[in-house]
A and B are shown apart, each in its own frame.
Chain A
Amino acid sequence: MAMREFAERGADLELVGIHKRFPGFTAIEELDLTIPAGSFFALLGPSGCGKTTTLRLVAGLDEPTNGRILIGGTDVTATRSHERPVNTVFQSYALFPHMTILENVAFGLRRRRIDDPAGKAHEALRLVELDHLAQRRPQQLSGGQQQRVALARAIVNRPALLLLDEPLGALDLKLRRQMQLELKAIQEEVGLTFLHVTHDQEEAMTMADTVAVMNKGRIEQMGAPEELYELPRTAFVANFLGQSNLFTGDVVGATDTAIAVDAAGSRIVVPTARAQRHSGQVTVGVRPEKVELHREQPVVEADRNLIGPGVVTDVSFSGVSTQYLVEIPGAGRVLVFAQNIGFGPAAAEGDRVWVSWAVEHGFGLEDTPDESRFQADASTSAIAAQHRDALVAELEEH
C-alpha cells in the first residue's frame, strides 16, 4: 500500500485497549485514547511512564501486545511503519548524516514517488527558514537548525498525523520558547494533527489544545491545560502539573454546595462540584499562588478557608514573586507564591503567619497523596531502569 497522495488534512487517531508488554514489564496498561483531527495533543508524563512507547506504537516502530490503532477510521495495527500515513520528529532528530539537508527533506517524497520532490523540499525548507542551507550536511548545522530540518522532513510529507518525540528537549531555554511558538504556528498553518510527547509540563500547557497526563502506563487525566491545572483529579496530576498544597482528612460536614474536611484540627471547605469524593477520607488541595499570607490573624470569612498560625521556615525571592514555606502545626507545610506588588518580601523567616484562600479555589482529589506524592519522577524512572536491567539480564541468559 504505497501512498502516492498527500493526506487532505489531519486525521483523527484512535487507540483502543492498547497493552504493551515487554519481557519482564508492562509499558502500557489498557490505554484508550481518541485524538480529534487537526488538534494539538500533548502526552505529558515523567520518564518511563510509557509515553514514548505509545508514540512508537502509533508510528509502527513497535507492535502492541493487544489492542487496535486506527488512523482516520482505518485500522493500521497490522501495517508496517512505512505503510502508515504518519511521520515522526525524533528526539535525536535522526537526520541522515550522509545526505544533504535537501535530500534529507526529500527522502520521504522520493520513497513515495511524489512529483517534484526537490521543489517541495525547498518549499518545506522555506517554511522553517532554512532554504539557504539546503546543500549543507546535517553535522554542519546547529542544534536548533537540525531540529527545524527534522520538522521540515516530517511535515513535507503532509502526514495525516505528526508525532513529536520530545523534539525540543536538546535545545536551550530561549531557543525552546521560540521553537514552541514556531511549531504551534506551523500546526495552525498546515492543519495537521500533532501528537506531542514531553515531560515538560510548561511546554505541554503552552502548546497543546488537549493534554493527557500519563503515569505508569496509564492516562491519569486528560483535558484542556487550564482544566487540568485548575481542577486536578489525582495527587499525581496535582503535583506533576505545577505544585499543590494537599491536606488529607475525614469529611466532617456536607451541604448541597460544599464539603468540609477536618485536616488535623483545621476545617477546610471545598465546593462539592470540585471534589471527586464526598465522604470518608478525602484529600483536598489548593494551588500555592491562590493562597494569601497574613501577618495578623484575619477575621474568619464564610467563603475563605483560614489555617494557622504557622511559622515561616523559608523565603525565596525570585523577582516577580516570592515563595514562602509555612510550617503549620497539624496541617504540615504550606507553600505560598505571592506577587511582589510592594517592595520585597512581606514576611521574614521565623514570622508567625496565617494562610487563607477562597473556598472556590480548592479542589478535592479521588486518591490520597501517600500513593504517589514525592515519588512521581524518581519512582517511574527507577522502575523503568530496573525493568530495563532485568530485560537485558534475561536476554543475556539465552
Chain B
Amino acid sequence: MSGEGQAGAVLGGLAESEQLEQRPQPTRERPRRGLGRWLLPTYVTIAFAFLMIPIVYTFVFSFNDSVKSNIAWRGFTFDKWLNVCNVEGGAVCQAFGNSIVIGLVATVLATTLGTMIAIALVRYRFRARSAISLLLFLPMATPEVVLGAGLAAQFLAVGVPKDMLTIILAHTMFCISFVVVTVKARVASLDPALEEAGRDLYGSPSQVFWRVTFPLLLPGILAAALLSFALSFDDFIITNFNSGSVSTFPKYIYISAARGIPAEANVIASAVFLFAMILVITVQVSRAAREKRLAKLS
C-alpha cells in the first residue's frame, strides 16, 4: 500500500490547481554527450522499476488462480475480483469495511476539530497559544509504537474496552496534528480584509464564515481530509495496540502474511490503488482544462 504517497500526489494536484500564474519554463540545456546522456535515464528507469515492482506484483497476483497461498503463479482468473467477499467468510471485506468506516469517521472528526483549532491559532491571540502550537506537533514527532502503547495503557487504566471506538479515537488524535498543520498554512495566507469585507457587506458572523472563510479555506480543508483518510486507512502500529478483536485491512494483511495472503487481499489493494490513480488523473486533467479556459479568457 502506498496510501500516503497517493494522497501526496492528490494534494500536490490540489495545491497546484490553486496557482493560476504560469510557472517559468525550464531553460533548454545544451545537449548532453557520452555517459551523461545515458546515466540519468538509466538511473530513473531503475528507480521507477524499484518503486513499481511491488505494486505490479500485487496487481498481477490478484488475477492468480491460487488455492491456499498466493505465492506461485497457477493461472489467470477473474474469480478473485468477482468473488472478493466469499473467502474465509468475507474476512477480507469485513476488515476493509472496518477500515473505511474508521477512516471516514476519524477524518470527519479530525478535520472538523483540526480546522477549528487552526483558525483559532492563526486568528486569535490567547494565553498558551504557542504552547498549544508546539504540543500539536508532538503526535507527529513521537514514534508510533510509543504513541500506540501509551494510548493502550490509558484505555486500560480508564477501563474502556478496545473496539471500533478506541481505534477511531486513536486515529482522530494523530490526524488532528496533520489537519492543523495543513489548514493553518491556508488560514495564514487568507487576507483578514476579506472577512472584514464580508462583515462590512451586512454578513452576520455565521454568514461570513460559510460564504467567505469556509469556501476560501476549502482547498486546504480538503487536502487535510484526504491526508487524514490516507493516514488512518494505512495505519497499522497504533491500530494494532488499540483495536482489541476488531480487524482492519492493514491488520488483516499482517496477520494473514504468516500463512499466505489470500489473492482477495491483492484485489482490494489493487482496487484502492486504481481508485487513487483515477482520482489523481482526474484532478490533473481538470486543472489543465481550467488553465486552458482561463488562458482563453484573459
Contact check, B202 vs A157: say whether CB atoms are below 8 A apart: yes
Whether the pair B297, A96 counts as a contact (CB closer than 8 A) is no
B residues less than 8 Å from A86 (CB atoms)? 200
Q: Is the CB of B193 within 8 A of A3?
A: no
Does chain B have a CB within 8 A of A184? no
A-B contact count (CB 8 A): 73
Q: Which residues of A contact B154 (CB under 8 A)?
A: none
Given contacts A61-B196, A94-B196, A96-B194, contact A111 B294 (CB under 8 A): no
Within 8 A of B (CB), among A60-81: 60-61, 80-81
A88 to chain B, nearest CB (A): 5
In the complex the two chains form, is B127's CB within 8 Å of A398's CB? Answer: yes
Q: Does A395 reach chain B (CB closer than 8 Å)?
A: yes
Given A96-B212, A98-B215, A98-B216, are A140 and B197 neighbors across the interface (CB < 8 Å)?
A: no
Contact A94 B193 (CB under 8 A): yes
Q: Given known contacts A140-B294, A140-B297, A140-B298, is B202 in contact with A94 (CB within 8 Å)?
A: no
- Nearest chain B CB to A117 CB, angstrom units: 12
Q: Does A136 contact B (CB under 8 A)?
A: yes
Of residues 72 to 131 in A, which have CB atoms within 8 Å of B's CB atoms? 80-82, 86-88, 90-92, 94-98, 107-108, 111-112
Q: How many residues on chain A are close to B (CB under 8 Å)?
A: 31
Q: Assess A61 versus B201: contact at CB under 8 Å? Given A111-B207, A140-B294, A140-B297.
A: no
Interface centre among B126, B196, B212, B298, by most A CB within 10 Å?
B196
Cβ-closest chain A residue relative to B204: A82
Return chain A residues, CB-CB under 8 Å to B201.
82, 87, 107-108, 111, 153, 157
Residues on the A chain within 8 Å of B211, using CB: 107
Question: Does A396 lie at the interface of the complex (its beta carbon under 8 Å from any beta carbon of B)?
Answer: yes
Contacts of A111 in B (CB 8 A): 201-204, 207
Interface centre among A86, A91, A96 (most CB of B within 10 A): A96
Majority SS of interface residues in chain B? Answer: helix
- Smallest CB separation, A38 vs chain B (Å): 21
Check if A88 sits within 8 Å of B130, measured CB to CB: no
Residue of A nearest to B129 (CB): A398
CB-CB under 8 A from A112, the residues of chain B are: 202
- Give the complex CA separation of A92 and B195 in angstroms: 12
Most buried by B among A2, A111, A398: A111
- B272 on interface, CB distance cutoff 8 Å: no
Q: Which residue of chain A has the shortest Cβ distance to B197 in the bound complex? A: A94
Q: With both chains docked as a complex, state the minimum distance between the C-beta of A166 and any C-beta of chain B, in angstroms.
A: 12
Interface centre among A107, A108, A157, A395 (most CB of B within 10 A): A107
Chain A: which residue is nearest B211 at the CB level? A107
Residues of A within 8 A of B204 (CB): 82, 111
Interface presence of B29 (CB below 8 A): no
Q: Other CB < 8 Å A-B pairs besides A94-B197, A139-B20, 12 of them?
A: A59-B196, A80-B199, A81-B200, A82-B200, A82-B203, A90-B196, A91-B193, A96-B197, A96-B212, A112-B202, A140-B297, A395-B125
Could you list which residues of chain B lie within 8 angstroms of chain A, going by C-beta atoms? 20, 125-127, 129-130, 191, 193-194, 196-204, 207-208, 211-212, 215-216, 294, 297-298
The 15 listed contacts between A and B (C-beta, < 8 Å) are: A59-B196, A59-B200, A61-B199, A80-B199, A81-B196, A82-B199, A87-B200, A96-B197, A96-B198, A98-B215, A98-B216, A111-B201, A140-B294, A153-B201, A396-B130
A-B pairs, top 5 by smallest CB distance, nearest first, are: A108-B201, A94-B197, A94-B193, A81-B199, A111-B202
